[in-house]
Amino acid sequence: MYLEHFGIKELPFSLTPNTEFFLNMASYHKAYNMLMVSIANKEGFIKVVGEVGTGKTMLCRKVLNTLEESPDTYVTAYIANPVLSPKGLFLAFAEELGIAAETDVGHHSLLKRITNVLMEHAANGRQVVLFIDEAHAMPEKTLEALRLLTNLETETAKLFQVVLFAQPELDEMLTHKSLRQLLQRITFSYKLESLDRDGLERYVMHRMATAGYNGGTVFSAKALDELFRASKGVPRIVNIVCHKALMVAYGRGERSVERDHMIKAISDTEGVSLPTRGNFRPIAAAGAVMGLAGVALMVYLLAFYFR
């Protein structure tokens, strides 16, 4: 691979959500702060929405890791695949809480075990937070069951909080009349945006540096321009294309990624392409302007001559 060639210790553009590569940029910084403040204030449902590949899972893992640094204060539960029936969701939550339950356990018995464990954590001053990734994939009945589950509470507070990470399809689902009560429970919401051109450059440089690179600029400005045009600032696409561009440069024995390397990487990536440029031709346009000026001059002279 190209690690030794570029003097780096690990792959800088892996798709694995490694929080060591988390870049605290504006959009992610605001989302992270919103999540931490909302969790600390024991708010109800919290929702983070973003398009495919915008870094929702990375942000989720970052918050999880932060909370897990305070085990006496927080107990976290994480469900990565919520395509579950209502009972399947309860079983998954129970497993995350360390509750051993058979799949044929009765609904009432399972709910009672979950309640007891939640009450125990609350009595010991520990706050339980349930993170659900890919929440847009949850069936409506399961979302409604989740809302009902959050009715578990003491006289002063809910027994656990829910943080939903999802694609925009979740917002569409929440407009359904059957989920209007869940929509009202969402106290804080945030939408993750793609990277702008400057943010993309910082992102690429940050990942290279985190991977151990400490030399000069690897990705040229023109290469990054093409990357931004093709990726539209979506981090997952940036990672895929940058990895391939480094491979192209390495294959040619070159130490920097130039525009042609990037274009080659883009053309080799399925579902990614450079937007077509307009057919505007400066030379032709200039000629047209000159032609119009000539016609205008001739009209003026003829008018002057025959007046």
| pTM of the entire predicted model | 0.84
User: What is the per-residue pLDDT across 221-249, written as a single tens digit (0 to 9) for each?
Assistant: 999 999 999 999 999 999 999 999 999 99
What domains are there in the chain, each with its CATH number? 26-191 (3.40.50.300), 195-267 (1.10.8.60)
List, for residues 170-188, the tens digit of each pLDDT value: 999 999 999 999 999 999 9
Whether the CB-CB separation of 18 and 59 falls below 8 Å is answered with no
Q: Summarize the chain as % helix, strand, coil (round to 5).
A: 55, 10, 35
- What band does 107 get if pLDDT is binned at 50, 70 and 90? confident
pLDDT of residue 281: 39
What are the Cα distances from residue 225, in Å, to 117, 195, 268?
53, 13, 17
- Letter for the amino acid at 123? A
Stretch 286-305: mean pLDDT: 38
Please give the radius of gyration of the chain, using alpha carbons only, rounded to the nearest integer: 27
Conformation bin of residue 298: beta by default, left when phi > 0, alpha when psi is -120 to 50: alpha
* Cα gap 242→204, rounded to integer Å: 8
Structure tokens at 69: 């640094």
When pLDDT is cut at 50, 70 and 90, the band that residue 277 belongs to is: low
pLDDT in tens, 16-30: 999 999 988 888 899
**CA–CA distance, 140 with 192 (Å, rounded to integer):** 23
Q: How far apart, in whole angstroms, are the C-alpha atoms of residue 240 and residue 247? A: 11
Q: How far apart are CA 300 and CA 303, in angstroms?
A: 5
